[in-house]
Every structure is written in structure tokens, then in C-alpha cells.
Structure 1
Amino acid sequence: MNLPAYIVNWPGKSGRNGGPEHPAVYHMLDVAAVAEILIAREDFPAQVRDALALLVGLHDLGKVGIGFRAMIREGLSQTVRHWELSEAWLTQDEFLAERLQADPWVMQALIGAVAGHHGRPSRQDERFFSKMCLSAGAAAGADVVTIARDFAALWPEASLKGIGRRQAAGLGWWLAGLTNVADWVGSNAEWFPAREADLSLIDYLELARPRARRAVPEAGLGGAEALAGSLFDFRPRPMQAAAVGIDLPEGPVLAVIEDETGAGKTEAALVLAQRMLLAGKGRGLFFGLPTTATADAMFRRAASFAGRLMRNPALTLAHGRAGLSVPFRDLVAGRAETGDEVTATAWLADNSRRALLADIGIGTIDQALLAVMRARFSALRLWGLSSKILIVDEAHEIQGDGYMAALLETLLRVHAGQGGSAILLSATLPLAARNRLSRAFAEGAGRQVRTDASRAYPALSVNGAVQGVRALDSAKGAVGIGCLPEFDNALNILEYNAKQGAACLWVRNAVDDAIQAVEALRVRGVLASLLHARFALCDRKRIEAAELARFGRDGVDRAGRVLVATQVVESSLDLDFDVMVSDLAPMAALIQRAGRLWRHMDMRPREARPVAAPVLHVLSPDPAEVRDDRWLREVLGAGAWVYPLDLQWRTADLLFRAGEIRAPEGLRDLIEPVHGDGADPIPEVLERAERERIGEGYARRSMGDQNVIDFRAGYRGGASGADDAHYPTRLGRETRKLALARWQGGCLVPWAGEGTSLDELWQMSELSAAKARLDRLPLPDQASPAIAAAKRDWPEWRRDAVTLCPVEDGVICEGLTYDGEIGLSFVSPIVR
């Protein structure tokens, strides 16, 4: 067969293990064949689908050039990146725009999207496009003209006529993500093996299409049908019943579910999500949780409902430590007890970014927020989310942080702009925050902003319209409030009630204070355990499992025990206590903490409890006696600096006057005066602290606004800056990661004793602590022979980012110790 020279002369993939080179145009058709399947699901006219497949097929036109060929065949570096050359070739070729009947600006936007398929758009100036093309060689210049025409002939009906500039700006983001995914699948040698140049374009495309039809479902991208059956076999609670009956308007929908902790908000969200799926408002779900622990817990729950929600869905877990989740690994390996109705493909599990592509993704909210940040692969994440119903749990935690609030509002605005729907869940969301979220979503959907001043609670809002929901009578009744003015008062309460057989909890604001408290309780002979974030991961998981077995829904051996913990118990663990002490914290946090008090009344009714009524004892000074801004420090010590001082005072003043937390009907009246707009005035000596909090909030929001994409500018302009900096999803004190080790046979081995691989053991041995405190200590020399030997096989990024710390007789270095039951302890003066 007399093949065009461009098939033979320009390799797209190097030959592996002596195999043939894969021609660039064959690879381009592999990717186009994948794109055809993914595009076919969308509501585009047939000619637009063909045009988009054609453009995706030309994504790697820049591999036609002497620079890329020299890299493949001779190992030389490229002076011009091939994907940047793709943009130059396509922009310089006037034929394509005329052939597709496209507005020049529209064509430019879409070319920049398909060319920027390696996670970010090109930064090359158009003034240099001609020079870039010349550097590729005269033969390449002649061949790309022919390739563009021959590719266009494969999709003869392709047209972009009628696509406007505004539509193209949004379409560019979607197309960049689609191209990224299609390129990843089309580059997989198992699905698309290298083939020597022996087929024409049309013949090779006919070979690539059935391969794509096999590859897409095997990757976990085949899509799953929504099912209409009942999700749960219990009688619905009022919020769940409201989710069944509330009207769902046309177009994108934002639902906000507000109800107390433990009221079944997740089940209500799933009912709503099922209705949205059946109404065509999405083809899958992504759950954004506040922490890795809550994401892991939701993943375990998802296995029980995923198969009833969708037919044979692909389920995956997305966060930095997803690979350490045993249930996730079992599902990927086919060992999970879910039957064949739920799967997790190895391709999706291989990369946390791909979790947004699964039919049902479970992860931290960070994975979704990265979709709207100026970080690499934002378009990929946006494409994955565009077909999903986004479910965000504990939305109040995000809105309480100015930085994350800016990110979430942008995410909702962009998600609505792509036609997506979302569901937000919260027990303590202020009205002003709810309105800001509704406003952002409405703006993205291109409709009139609607906000509702209703103070109803519990409440279900749909596109800004609030519907009050009947509150169930609480089996535990109102939670009383007690004020403990001194540390010893807290010890006395816990010691007394533990001796009466109560299961007790003390929530402390700071790790150092938690360690101090557990040691003081043990001196008094109280059986006390400790949980905080400064444990090695293996110890933290072990302790969490033990505390869940003791204080969870089905807990045993809980009588007379005390758990001292930090904020990790607020939302991550389903625990139930008879008696609770808490350091003073802002109202929203205290309400969350109180949700762990007398939680499972069906398992432990009032008459079975060793105390007469639920009481939240708050360690706090008297808010009526404020002499200066050291008011809280005298009682809480290090924990006084964790939360804004003005919010702390407002909480104490309101809560002690109210004398109780009456959930759910009384929660709105507790939240608004502390966290809402127009909050109550504070003592004059605390006004400076309030001004600083407000100023810091503005600064954090401003930083968030700077770090998000400009969706309206299109992909090439709006995602610029992707490699300029690291864009965090959360702000906070800078931390430093340590990996703990022990001596064994004269060598250093991971602190963790159980794992499936050495890499996993090192990850399970890690913990993080404040960098400012660690930097003042003489941490172990990383160049020492034993440490260097232990880190020798680590990836370079981990060697640089993680400090290996041998623990010998509990000591790491002067001023720093570690114990598996206490955690990391600073024995030097505390640095603030």
C-alpha cells in the first residue's frame, strides 16, 4: 500500500521492548476514537460532536516536527514542547477554521483547549508561532497541511457554525479536560498497542474505534444507569421525606440541607441525588468531605448504597492517602464483598485526579476545589465534575474560612455554568453564608439571584427558596450547659462521673492541652485514652479503631472510661458519650461537639444512662468579667489561641445565658448571633481582636479570589499561572512532615509494624507538626549514614519533603519525644 509519508516519518510513541514505533497520526486517531465515545453522551448537535472529535484528534499535531522525532529516536530534548507546537500549527492553518465554519475567536479558544491537554495551557506568545513552526522543519510544515485536510475528511459533516464566543469560553474548559482524559486512555499501550505504519487513516480509525469501545468501560468511564428503586429500607425521617417530595426546577439545581447532627442529612442528600440523576441533572456523584477520615468513612458506607443508586457503578476514593484504605484496595483488587454491582478500576485508582471521573467518587473537598484553582489539571477535574452532582458535607466549615469560602463559591459558580447541580449539607450554616452560596450558584447558572430570609430550621432550600421541615422531638431533649471556670473543675467532673460508670469525653482545643489533661486524669486513677492529630498514622488508626469499638454505636467496655481528644472527634467519628466536657470554642464547633453527647438513644435510652440528663460542661471564664484580651488565656492556656477571641466571647455570653442547646429548633438562634451578619456587640477590650479577625478574613478571601481560575476568560487565558506556584486548598500554620523510625538489627525501619509494602509502612509512620516549633529543635541529621540508607529508595520528592526521625527510648531529639499512646510531645517551651 502506498501510504502518505506523514504516517511513516513522524513517530508518536517510541517502540517498547523492541516493538514498532507508533505513528503520531495513529495515536491521534486512538485519542479521537476515545473522544467520540465520551462526546456522544453530550447534548451536542451531530455536526458539533464531529467537529470536537476532529479537534481532539489533532491535539498532538505538534509531534509532527524534527524536534519531537529527535526526542523519540535520539533522546534529545525538545526546544519547543510538542503540545505548544500543536497550537501553533493549528492556529496558523486557516483551512481548518473555514472548513468548520467557525468564528476566529471561537476557533482560537478551542485550539488552545485541545493543545493544552497536559494539564495547563500554552504560554507561548502568538507572535512566535511562525518561528516555532519553522523550527519544526519544512517537511513537517508540508505534512501538517495535508494531515489537517485528511483528518477533516474523516468527519465530513463536522461544523462549529453557531457556536458563539461566550459559549466557546466555557466549552474550552470542558474540551481541555475531555482531551486530557481521551489522551490518557488513548496512550494506554494495553488498549492501543503500537502498530507499524501499514494502514491508511480511515482503515486505522476503523481499527481504533472498537478498541476505544473496549477501553472506555474498562477504564471505568463507561457510565452507569441511574436506578429508580428505594435506597433505604427504613421509615424516612422528615428531612428525607422532604427530599422525596420537593419540586426540582428545570436546569441546574442547588439544594441546601440544614439539620442537626445525626438527623440523616446524608440519606436525604442521596434521595435528592437519585432524583436529580433520574431527571438528567447529572450522570454520577462526587462526595466532598472535610477530612480524609470522613472520606474513608463515607467510602465504607458507599459500598452499601452505590449498587442501588446506579447499575454497576465505578466507585473510587480520592485523597492523598487513599492507597492506605483497606476497603478501597480490596474493591480495586476484587476482594470486596459488594458483588459485581460495584467496581473500582485500577485505571481510576491509579491517580487521585481520576477519582472525579468515576461514576461515584468519594474524597476530600480539596479534590473538587482544585478544579477551580490555577493549578495543573484544573480542566480535567472540571470535566469530571461537569457530569456529576456535587455533594458537599459540613459546608459550614468551608464557609467559616474566608479563603476556602472564596474557593467553594467559585466552584459552585463554575459548576452551575457547566450545567451541574449540587447539594450542600450543614448543621450550622449561617444565613448570610447560605445566601452567598446560593448567589454564586445562580450567577453561574445565568439566572436571577434569589435569596430567602427565612429563619426556618431544619430547612431544605432549592435554588434559594427555603422550605421549613418538621423537627422531630429529640429523644435526649435539651442539652444543659455548665460552666467550669478552672482546669481542676473539669478534672473533678470527669473523675466523679467515670467512677459512676459514665462514658466521658473531654474535647480540648490544642494537642498540648490534651496531653496535659490525659496525664492529669491518669494521675487520679481514671482510665483515660488520648486522640489527636499528632500521632503517626498507624497509631492514630489503631487508636481510632479502639475508640470506635468502645464509644461507637455498638461500643462495649465504655463504662468508666474517658477519652481526651482534640477537634478530630467533631465530625470524623461516630461516637456516643454520657458526659462531655469541652474547652470553650465557637458556637458552631460546640454544637458539633454536643452532637456526640447522648447520640444513639435507640441503643442507650435515657433510663440506661448513668447520668440523669445530657449536659455539656464548658471550660471557660465568666464572659461578664473581661478585663483585657488575656481573658481566655488564663483558663485555656494554649487552647485560647486556636479560635478568634471575639467569637469565643460571643459564644460564652450567649450560651451561658441560654443555659441549654435545644436541637434542632433552637440552633438558628444560637448560630446567628455568633456567626451571622450583624452579630451582637462585644466588650470594648476585645474590639481589636474582632477587627483583626475581620481583616484577616478579608485578606484570606482576597487570596482565594487571586488563586481561582477566570472561567469567563476561557481555558487559555483563565488557567494561566498553573506552574507558577503551589496553590493550597487550605491555609493554616505551615507544617513539617516527619517519618518515625525504630532501630532493628542496626538499621532504621519504619515505626509502623504492619503494611503490605515498605512504601506503605513509611507512609503509615508519618505525622505532621507545626514547622515553627520543629525548626527550633535539633532534629536528626538527614545526612547521617543510617538515615541516608533508610531514605535511599524513597522518591526524590519524599526525601526532600519528609524528615526521618529515629525514636530511641521515646526520644527523638532534645525537646521532642514520641510515645504510641501519647503522640508527639514538645517538652521545650511552647512557641506561639
Structure 2
Amino acid sequence: MRCDVQMRSGSLAQIIEAWPGKSAHEDGGISQPAVYHMLDVAAVAERLIAPESFREPVRQALILLAALHDLGKISAAFRAMLRHAQPQVAGRHWEVTEAFLRLHDDLLAPTLGSDQFARYELYAATAGHHGRPPSRDLHLNRRNTGPGGEWKAMIDAAGETAVADAAEVIRAFTELWPDACLGSMTSEQARRLSWRLAGLVTTADWIGSNPAWFPPSAPGPLPAAYLAETRERAADAIGKAGIVAPPAASVRPFNFALRSMQTACEQVELPSGPMLALIEDETGSGKTEAGIILAQRMLLEGKAEGLYFALPTMATADAMFGRVADVLKCLYDTAPSLSLAHGRSGLHEGFRELALARDRNPDEPGPTEWLLDSRRKALLADVGVGTVDQALLAVVRAKYAPLRQFGLSRKILVVDEAHEMGDPYMGELLSALLHLHAAQGGSAILMSATLPLELRSRLVAAFETGAGREAPAIENSAYPALTVPGVSTPTVSANRSETNRGPVAVERVQSADQALDLLTKTAGEGAACVWVRNSVDEAIAAIHTLRARGVPAELLHARFALVDRKRHEARILETFGKHRSAHPGQVLIATQVVESSLDLDFDVMVSDLAPMAALIQRAGRLWRHMDLRPAGLRPVDRPTLQVLSPDPGLVTGENWARHVLGQGAYVYALPLLWRTAKVLFEAGEIRVPEGLRDLVEAAHGRSLTVPEVLQSAEFRAEGVDKAQATHAGQNQIDWLAGYRAGASGAEDAEYPTRLGARQKTMVLMRGDAPWSGDRWNVESAQLSEVSASAARLDRLALPEAVPPVNLPRWLTATRCFVTVPPDHQICPGLRYDPEMGLILSSSVNQA
């Protein structure tokens, strides 16, 4: 389509003066001209794209498109909105940008080349820099003589003068990047590139919109002169933003004698191009240090500039944060920016201290002020530690997916506890993330103690096909193992010098009463004991019984307000942690929260029957620190995992586990529980590390046929798995369709990164004050939060209070505020006790 502009455009000087791009920051102040803002963003984009491997003509084409991102601000409707607060009813400025670029395609085609549909894909990516792609109807009228429908309405609202002036700006900008050319790029290639361009433009726009770095300029300089000036400002702004990592350093990050896996990571050949490595080793074997050693080598080889450590929970991310912060000075020549990426990062004391230290001393790693002012910027930091959810948001149809892709693309994605992302829903999303990350040139390291082979094969295939390579067959079933597709890897042996506890015996506990008797006896003998329960209700019931017997016992689960959970965790770490006394003589009743985030060491462990991978993780907390407490100092003869479980040889129906585990029988799929019990009790022990692979494969695979009375449950479980995988596919971006057709503008919560029973989050209050203190702010509100099943809470007459006015809407709109009376009874069926947590009466909440 050709657009012949009939009216005469004003001179460039008149155009710069006529069209404001930003409001003045104070009454009577200067408003930044649209043309100047567009050039500010282009100058930032030049800096951001400099390390990329694009050919120079393509690089210049992408910078030119970044410069044109706000072409739609040359509009009478936008100017009226800025100056007179009139709504842009026909279309917002970024939607008008796409309309203008298509309208004036004849001006860009000789410069950009390529086919028209390829240009259209990139126009949409340029325009869609506010978190979502443009979706206005941009079809011609019925006679194919010009814009029709929504397109015509936007052009008409912009005005004839704006149409002509936009054309003049395009002409002027093409002269600034004269070598810009997409060459023979196809529309398919452009669709893939559109995601990258959208992320680049969004990042550059956020930096270029900062008035501290790009103060408003009075109209005067023409585009070439202004661009020369603002390039200097862009260089300074990039440094202050903290999103271009310093050079990698070769300083040895650890001064201890390396274990076998760590040595393998130091020696393995690094393949060319995007690289995937899988580190499989037992809990406590030093996988994190091995991953850091390998990541440093990859940084030095130029495979990435930064790192993102993705963990399964906020608690595990918090635990990893300190370990990563301690070694950054060895990984980089100067201090990189560092972020903690999850919803409660502001509550992490170490992160807050680093933020203050960075503010006082830029030579310290930490977040910059710019990175701190938006949660969505966390993945742009040079080094990030956070939940895997923050990374998975790059592949679901949530706002700003390209921004997250852009932030991750320059990083080595280090996924710890990868087995915990192996359910059908998260597994599909993780596969999509690895595929996309490799397609954008990124590399990844996956770490796990209990990764099923089938999941490993799927993740390898996803990454390798994303990198444009044929997916290899991974035949190695050894354990421990380092796997790097495309190269031979060193054999990894178990280093028993640090973990010499021997095999963990396995015994079946037949009833809850037997478990209580065992815990009462061994605690009385001075042992550090734990009972890991599958459900909170069962954990609360167990501690009531133990305390009634006079047994000293602590409680930890996920239904405490965060301020109380932190208090409980501190007490538990003192009693059961690495530096505990030899004979504390106490019991911890806990749920799954103790599987990975806390460094605890127990003499005696009872666990409800759970999937094999979870039981192995739990057993990793049994006789953990043998260097501090060798066998001779333990009050029991050997490490034994006592599993509360029905007899897998006596299955009479689908209620097989209910009478033993209570509500905990419904937390996991029944066929998986049966297979785990069958395999584990027949083995009679957990041999670490050599026996772990066989246990996981036998229990988590489907080769073992379940009893006939469980066949219906097996079919239902398979159906749920398929439905979750399908759901994940529906929630993913359509990478091959390109940004305009394949993305969405939905809020994060509309496309979850993990499935599960819907939760409702309450902010607890004491009168008008937060449960955690006296003053309301984001931190005190988050410390007062507690979550529980929405289905159970919705059946109660929950008395909601009015939230404080000084809290942000993202917080108040997603929580309910609830007052806890002095007697702790919130409403019939619901209590909150700081020592017991949130207690839901089963008599009120039965379905």
C-alpha cells in the first residue's frame, strides 16, 4: 500500500516545537518534544544492542525502528490529552504509531527492504512497548484505497498535519541510520525477531523516559545535532540503570578442595553456541558451587553477560541470594547490579542492606535505584536471584513478556531444584522457556537431586530444538551425572568424605499413634526429631497431641502470617539447625516447607508417605552434618526414615491411604503414592547417591502396574496430567506467530506460572494496625499476610475490613484485610493463633 501525503509538512524545527512527547514536570516547565524523546530512546537502544551479534544493517534497522516507537505522539489527539486532559478515544499513541508506520510504509520500504509482511511484524513490535501488542483493526477500506475502520478513526483523530509531519520525521530519521536494511528477512524470521525488538524498545523507552537522565530540552537542535548530544546522556544512563554487566573475571570463586562434580564442571568442554548443562547430584553435595564454577567459565567464553538463578520458592530464593552475593566479586571485574526477584524481596534483610550499600558505594554489588522502582525490572539486573515464576512469566500471555525475555536473553539461566518444576503444567512452561531462551541465544544450567529421566529428555529436547539443533538422545543413566549435549563429559563419582552417613534405612510406620510413640520416646532420649506431614490440618493435630503428652515440640507450616513464620523459623534453626546442640530432645512438626529452604539436621525423621522425590529431599535433612555430629554423638544407632504409610501389599480400594494419612492422602496422586510405597519398602533403604536414580525412575515412571482397584485413580491421574499440559499450552505465548498475534496484554495473575488449589491471601490486622507492627506500608502488610484455600475460606462469613488508603492498589486489590480479635476467633470456623497459625475448623469447612 502506498500513502501519498497531499498536505505540506512543516519544517523539522516547526515539527519539533509543535508536538510534545512528555508533560512538563512542573507548572511552567519545559515539556520534552516527541522527536527528542524518540531520539533519546534510540540512543539508549544503540547502547543496549551494541553487544548483540546482528549484522550492521539489521542493527541500524532495529535502532531506526526503536527511534520511531512513539511516532504516534505526533497527533492532535495526543497533544490534546497532554495539554487539556482530553481522552484519546480513537486510539492511544502507541496504537497510532503502528497505524502511522503502516500508512507511511512506502517511505520505509526503500530503506528497510524485506517483504511488506516482515516490516508489518516489526512495526507492531516497535509500537507495542507498553507491555502488550497493538490489536486495532488496520485493514483498508472496502475499495482498498486507504485506511478503514479503526485505522481511519485513529488517522482522522491525529489530523492531517500530524500525518504529514510524521512522514517528515520518518524521512529525517532514515537519514540518521543510512545503512539500515533488513535485507531478505522473511516474515517468519521477522515474527521471531519481533519479540526481541519489543523487549529492546520497552527497555530503552523506560530508560529514555527517566527525566533525571534525559531532562526536557527546549526545541532547538535538529535531529542529527540532538542525537549527538543525547548519545552521551545514554551512555551515562545505561551505567546508572545497572543493566549492562561489567566484564567477567577469572578469579577462582572458591578456595576449598573441589568435589567430583565441581571438578567436572571445571574441566568439561564447552560447546559452541547456546549451551545447556544438567547437574544431577545428591542434596548437600555442592551443586550450587558446581553451577557457579561452570557459569563463570561460560561468562568468560562470552556465552552470556549475566546470571539469573531461578528457584522453586521465595524461601529457597532467599537462601540462595546470600550465597550468590558472596561470590560476585570473583565473577566480575567490578561490581554488577544484583536483584532479588520475587514479590517479597523488600522483606529480605540482606537485600535491603545491599541496596543501601550500593547507594553509598557503587563498588558494592546490589540493585540500582532505577531497578528498585519497579518489580518488572528485576530480570534486567546483571545478576538476579529469584523464583522460577519470574522467568516463566516470559513465556505466558502476561504483560511485558518480551521485556522479561530481553532481560533473560543475555543471562545464563540457572534453574535449581528443577525436579520441582516437573508437574505437567510447570514442566510444559519450563520446556517452553528453555526453547525460547536457546532460540534467543541464551544458555542454561539445570540442577537437581532427583530429576526423572523422562523429564530430563524433554527439557534437553526443548533447549536443543530452540537452538536449531536436532535433539540428542541422552542415554546416560549414571548418578551423579553431568550432562552437556554435544560433548562428552567427565565421569562424576560420589565424594563420600563429606557425607559419610551410610545408607538410610526405611521402615514403615503403621499408624499416627505409632509415630507419636516413636517421637515421644526418641525425644525423651535427647534426639532432634521431625515429623513431616502432608497437610497443615494434620500437622496442627499432631502438635496438639505431642504437647498434651508433655513433649517439647515446635510447629512450622505455610499458614502462618509471614512475621510469625519468620519468628518460628529462627527458633527452629536454633534448635534443629546446623549448629544445634547434640541432644536437644525436641520435636518439629512441619509440612513440606522443610524440604529445601532450611538447613536442618535431624537424628530421627518420620514422614507421611509422599512421592519418592519428595521423600529423598526430606531424607536429606536426616543426619545431615556428619562433620559436626558423627554417628558416635547421635542418640540413635543409624539414620532411618520412618514412613507413615498403609501397606502397599494390602490395597482394598481407593481409600487405601485415607485411614492412615487422613487429609494428607489427598495432597498427591494416589497411584504415585502407591508406587513410591511399593518401591521404597521393597528396597528397604535409600543408598545415596548410587541408589537414587533407580528409586526415582521406578516410583515416578509408569512401568510398575498399580493394583486393579487403583486403575480408575490411575486413569483420572493421567487425565489430570493431560489437562494440565493442555492448559499450559493454552497459556503460553505463540512464539512462532510473532509478538502481535502471539502475545497478550493480560495481568500476571490471569496466566499463572503454576497450578494448584486457588488461594486467598489475607492481611491480618490488630484493630486498625497491621498484625506485624504499628505502621502501614508495603512491608508491614506483606509481613501480616497469610494464605489458605479459597474454597474453604469462601464458605465462611469472613468479616473483611477496609484496607488502608496509603497502600498501592496492586496490593489492596489482590488481598482481603481481616481483623483478628483478642480471642483470636476471626469468625465461626476460623481462628488465627500466632503459635498455631491459621486454624480452619473441619466441621465448618467440610465440602
TM range (shorter): over 0.9
Match of 1:13 in 2: 22
The Cα of 1:360 is off from its aligned counterpart by 0.6
Match of 1:110 in 2: 122
Residue 622 (str. 1) matches residue 647 (str. 2): yes
| Contact 2:131 2:745 survives alignment (8 Å) | no
Alignment equivalent of 1:29, drawn from 13, 35, 39: 39
| Mapping for residues 126-145 of structure 1, pairs under 5 Å | 126-127=138-139, 128-145=150-167
Alignment equivalent of 1:415, drawn from 437, 440, 451: 437
CA distance 1:690–1:336, change in 2 (3 Å): farther
| Bigger Cα displacement from structure 2, 712-721 vs 444-453 | 712-721
| Contact 2:648 2:678 survives alignment (8 Å) | yes
1:268 corresponds to which letter in structure 2?
A
* Aligned-partner Cα distance in 1 for 2:470–2:342: 36
* Aligned-partner Cα distance in 2 for 1:523–1:559: 19
Residue 650 (str. 1) matches residue 659 (str. 2): no
* Aligned-partner Cα distance in 2 for 1:648–1:63: 60
Residue 831 (str. 1) matches residue 843 (str. 2): no
| Contact 1:621 1:632 survives alignment (8 Å) | yes
Match of 2:619 in 1: 594
Match of 1:505 in 2: 530
The secondary structure found in structure 1 opposite 2:69 is helix
Match of 2:817 in 1: 804
The Cα of 1:466 is off from its aligned counterpart by 7.3
The secondary structure found in structure 2 opposite 1:195 is coil
Match of 1:330 in 2: 353
The Cα of 1:110 is off from its aligned counterpart by 1.4
Residue 668 (str. 1) matches residue 685 (str. 2): no
| Contact 1:91 1:108 survives alignment (8 Å) | yes
Question: Percent same amino acid at aligned positions?
Answer: 53
| Contact 2:358 2:365 survives alignment (8 Å) | no
Residue 433 (str. 1) matches residue 448 (str. 2): no
1:533-566 per-position Cα deviation (integer Å, ceiling 9, x unaligned): 0000100111112212222222348610111100
The Cα of 1:428 is off from its aligned counterpart by 0.8
* Aligned-partner Cα distance in 2 for 1:771–1:217: 45
Residue 733 (str. 1) matches residue 743 (str. 2): no
Residue 816 (str. 1) matches residue 835 (str. 2): no
* Aligned-partner Cα distance in 1 for 2:725–2:92: 36
CA distance 1:235–1:353, change in 2 (3 Å): same
1:728-779 per-position Cα deviation (integer Å, ceiling 9, x unaligned): 0011111111111113xxxx21111378x53321221111000111111121
The secondary structure found in structure 1 opposite 2:831 is strand
1:358 corresponds to which letter in structure 2?
A
The Cα of 1:525 is off from its aligned counterpart by 1.0
| Contact 2:113 2:183 survives alignment (8 Å) | yes
| Contact 1:644 1:693 survives alignment (8 Å) | yes
The Cα of 1:718 is off from its aligned counterpart by 1.6
* Aligned-partner Cα distance in 2 for 1:504–1:610: 11
* Aligned-partner Cα distance in 2 for 1:375–1:222: 25
Structure 2: runs of 5+ lacking an equivalent: 1-9, 140-149
The Cα of 1:721 is off from its aligned counterpart by 5.9
| Contact 2:831 2:839 survives alignment (8 Å) | yes
1:321 corresponds to which letter in structure 2?
R
| Contact 1:431 1:453 survives alignment (8 Å) | no
Match of 1:189 in 2: 211
Match of 1:381 in 2: 404
CA distance 1:466–1:814, change in 2 (3 Å): farther
| Bigger Cα displacement from structure 2, 366-375 vs 93-102 | 93-102
| Contact 1:217 1:223 survives alignment (8 Å) | no
Alignment equivalent of 1:534, drawn from 546, 559, 564: 559
1:641 corresponds to which letter in structure 2?
Y
Residue 243 (str. 1) matches residue 262 (str. 2): no
The secondary structure found in structure 2 opposite 1:454 is coil
* Aligned-partner Cα distance in 1 for 2:813–2:408: 33
The Cα of 1:46 is off from its aligned counterpart by 2.5
1:409-440 per-position Cα deviation (integer Å, ceiling 9, x unaligned): 00011111111111111111111110011111
The Cα of 1:831 is off from its aligned counterpart by 3.0
1:100-153 per-position Cα deviation (integer Å, ceiling 9, x unaligned): 223322211211111111111111122143442233101001101110001111
CA distance 1:557–1:189, change in 2 (3 Å): farther
The Cα of 1:310 is off from its aligned counterpart by 1.6
Match of 2:772 in 1: 752
* Aligned-partner Cα distance in 1 for 2:340–2:710: 44
* Aligned-partner Cα distance in 2 for 1:643–1:558: 34
Match of 1:471 in 2: 494
* Aligned-partner Cα distance in 2 for 1:102–1:758: 53
* Aligned-partner Cα distance in 1 for 2:732–2:129: 19
Match of 1:64 in 2: 74
* Aligned-partner Cα distance in 2 for 1:800–1:418: 35
Structure 1: runs of 5+ lacking an equivalent: none
1:741 corresponds to which letter in structure 2?
M
1:32-73 per-position Cα deviation (integer Å, ceiling 9, x unaligned): 111111111111223322221111011000000111000000
Alignment equivalent of 2:804, drawn from 791, 798, 803: 791
1:8-55 per-position Cα deviation (integer Å, ceiling 9, x unaligned): 111100111121111000110110111111111111223322221111
1:353-385 per-position Cα deviation (integer Å, ceiling 9, x unaligned): 211111111110000000011111000000111
* Aligned-partner Cα distance in 1 for 2:130–2:467: 28
| Contact 2:13 2:219 survives alignment (8 Å) | no
| Mapping for residues 46-125 of structure 1, pairs under 5 Å | 46-79=56-89, 80-93=91-104, 94-125=106-137
| Contact 2:760 2:790 survives alignment (8 Å) | yes
* Aligned-partner Cα distance in 2 for 1:47–1:751: 59
CA distance 1:289–1:203, change in 2 (3 Å): same
| Contact 2:457 2:474 survives alignment (8 Å) | yes
* Aligned-partner Cα distance in 2 for 1:465–1:431: 19
Q: Cα RMSD over matched residues?
A: 1.8
The secondary structure found in structure 2 opposite 1:213 is helix
1:661 corresponds to which letter in structure 2?
I
* Aligned-partner Cα distance in 2 for 1:715–1:536: 40
Q: How many residues align?
A: 819
* Aligned-partner Cα distance in 1 for 2:83–2:583: 68
CA distance 1:247–1:3, change in 2 (3 Å): closer
Match of 1:356 in 2: 379
The secondary structure found in structure 2 opposite 1:580 is strand
* Aligned-partner Cα distance in 1 for 2:340–2:283: 24
* Aligned-partner Cα distance in 1 for 2:407–2:846: 43
The Cα of 1:206 is off from its aligned counterpart by 1.8
| Contact 1:435 1:464 survives alignment (8 Å) | no
* Aligned-partner Cα distance in 2 for 1:231–1:165: 45
1:292 corresponds to which letter in structure 2?
M
* Aligned-partner Cα distance in 2 for 1:659–1:337: 57
| Contact 1:64 1:144 survives alignment (8 Å) | yes
* Aligned-partner Cα distance in 1 for 2:795–2:547: 30
The Cα of 1:199 is off from its aligned counterpart by 1.9
| Contact 1:371 1:379 survives alignment (8 Å) | yes
* Aligned-partner Cα distance in 1 for 2:187–2:300: 32
Residue 205 (str. 1) matches residue 223 (str. 2): no
Residue 742 (str. 1) matches residue 761 (str. 2): no
